[in-house]
Amino acid sequence: MARKVFNPLIHLLAHLAAPELGRTIQFLKAENEILRSRLSKCIRTTPAERRRLVRLGAPLGLAIRELISIVTYRTFLRWKIAEGGPRKKKVQPTGRPRKPQEIRDIILRFARENPSWGYTRILGELKKLGVHKISRNTVKNILLENGFDPAPPRGEGTWDEFLRIHMSTLWACDFLTQEVWTLLGRVTFHVLFFIEVATRRVHIAGITANPDGAWVAGRAREMTDLFEAKGKRPGLIIRDGDTKLTAQFNEILESAGASMKRISRSSPNMNPFAEAWVGAFRRECLDRFIVFGKGHLRHIVDSYVAYHNSVRPHQGIGNVPVGQGSSPEPEEVDASGGVVCESWLGGLLRHYRRAAA
């Protein structure tokens, strides 16, 4: 009913001349006062009703003081402020100003990269960088605000952290198994390999269908000779709990200066580099073949390892091949040609390079 009355009223007001509009407003105000006198003294309004009154009354300015009767003018001002009107200017808090974001970022970087550093050590590193106007307590508060424990060590050491710390001297070893068809039927062959974690270079120690203790010990001796010849003594070698890797195997490698790190049972994620190489070898190559005889298997393994160690890009070392170090400088592509394709295993593995000038 109210909506049926309201719409014609708005239409009427819109077409009145100024004198008539003034007399009409006076009549409506008197009528409103009479109606209110029949009601209780306090009229409760909903948020939607308050927003509506503010929207219609705010453009009237001071004239609203003579018109409003449902509440006092002071209450109307409070409604107006609550709906986004002008507010009193907030007093700025006293105290030291916030440290520049650059300094805060450096503090957080130190905390992330050095779990054994406390806030006092971080403060010392800041002074070495020329940041002197900062207190121990400020460093502590910045760490706490961002979820870092200000006292070392920050949490328990993770396996990822262990791998990162030992990356430069870390090796991993494991067996890859493959079903091979021979004159005697299907035989399971074992490929023992080592991977140099820092470079992702893979070394095949041997391939056999009978990986007994004597064979494994012989492969360990060959690897110690390789380490000595290349001058790359391993610091740590990760291995799983495979019983084929005997105590003698460990002793021979330890005699070359290596420390054997045995991972937890049924935890292949703790030997991720070896597992990743096996997965890539199978997806990109081995699963595409039916292998006939040890010689065929040796050819496939040697071909893939040559491809892996020379031209295949590796995401873990910047998406470049083993030994390259970094990507070459960008250059314009010669659309007219000049790109040569090299392939392995009948074109299954491909590498592209610039043709010699």
Q: Does 301 have pLDDT greater than 60? A: yes
Strand partners, 190: 177, 208
Number of domains observed in the structure of the chain: 3
Asked whether residue 187 falls in the same domain as residue 312, the answer is yes
Contacts (Cβ under 8 Å, ≥6 apart) of 125: 110, 117
Asked whether residue 151 falls in the same domain as residue 25, the answer is no
At residue 154, the pLDDT reads 54
- Residue 3: inside a domain, yes or no? no
The better pLDDT of the pair 154, 343 is held by: 343
Ranking 74-88, 203-217, 231-245, 255-269 by mean pLDDT, the lowest is 74-88
At residue 208, the pLDDT reads 97
- Residue 331: inside a domain, yes or no? no
Domain-terminating residue out of 82, 110, 136:
82
Pairing of strands 339-344, 349-354: antiparallel
Tell me which DSSP letter residue 320 carries: B
Overall pTM > 0.85: no
At residue 314, the pLDDT reads 83
Residues 137-155: tens digit of each pLDDT: 888 888 888 877 777 665 5
Measure the CA–CA gap between 191 and 177, rounded to whole angstroms: 6
Pairing of strands 170-182, 236-239: parallel
Domain-terminating residue out of 129, 156, 183:
156
Ranking 260-274, 311-325, 342-356 by mean pLDDT, the lowest is 311-325
At residue 6, the pLDDT reads 47
- Residue 95: inside a domain, yes or no? no
Asked whether residue 72 falls in the same domain as residue 110, the answer is no
Measure the CA–CA gap between 325 and 29, rounded to whole angstroms: 86
Q: Does 49 have pLDDT greater than 70? A: yes
At residue 215, the pLDDT reads 97
Nearest partner of 109 among 143, 156, 135, 136, judged by Cα: 143
- The mean pLDDT value of the chain amounts to 80
Asked whether residue 301 falls in the same domain as residue 217, the answer is yes
Asked whether residue 200 falls in the same domain as residue 136, the answer is no
Asked whether residue 197 falls in the same domain as residue 228, the answer is yes
Tell me which DSSP letter residue 314 carries: B
Asked whether residue 262 falls in the same domain as residue 196, the answer is yes
Nearest partner of 139 among 151, 129, 157, 128, judged by Cα: 151
**By residue range, what is the domain housing residue 22?**
17-82
Q: Please, what's the largest Cα pairwise distance for the chain?
A: 116
Please, what's the b/e burial string for 328-338 (b: 16 or more CB within 10 A of its CB; e: otherwise)? eeeeeeeeeee
Residues 17-33: tens digit of each pLDDT: 556 666 777 777 777 77
| Residue 295: exposure state from Cβ atoms within 10 A (0-12, 13-18, ≥19) | exposed
- Residue 5: inside a domain, yes or no? no
At residue 320, the pLDDT reads 83
Q: What is the 3-state secondary structure (H, E, C) of 129-189?
A: CCCCCCCHHHHHHHHHHCCCCCCCCCCCCCHHHHHHHCHHHEEEEEEEEEEEEECCEEEEE
Which CATH number covers residue 208?
Answer: 3.30.420.10
Tokens representing residue 106 in the block? 């450096």
Asked whether residue 144 falls in the same domain as residue 274, the answer is no
Residues 83-125: tens digit of each pLDDT: 665 544 555 555 567 778 888 898 888 888 787 778 888 888 8
Residues 242-283: tens digit of each pLDDT: 999 999 999 999 998 888 989 888 888 888 889 999 999 999
238 with 263: CB under 8 angstroms?
yes
At residue 126, the pLDDT reads 85
326 with 320: CB under 8 angstroms?
yes
Asked whether residue 146 falls in the same domain as residue 228, the answer is no
**Mean pLDDT across the stretch 204-227?**
95
Domain-terminating residue out of 134, 156, 178:
156
Asked whether residue 199 falls in the same domain as residue 307, the answer is yes
Peptide bond connecting 153 to the previous residue in cis, omega within 30 degrees of 0: yes
Asked whether residue 243 falls in the same domain as residue 204, the answer is yes
- Residue 220: inside a domain, yes or no? yes
- Residue 128: inside a domain, yes or no? yes
Question: In the chain, what percentage of residues exceed pLDDT 90?
Answer: 30
Asked whether residue 112 falls in the same domain as residue 43, the answer is no
Q: Does 1 have pLDDT greater than 50? A: no
- Residue 120: inside a domain, yes or no? yes
- Residue 109: inside a domain, yes or no? yes
At residue 304, the pLDDT reads 95
The better pLDDT of the pair 164, 48 is held by: 48
Q: Give the position of tokens 């262990």.
A: 162
Q: Does 15 have pLDDT greater than 70? A: no
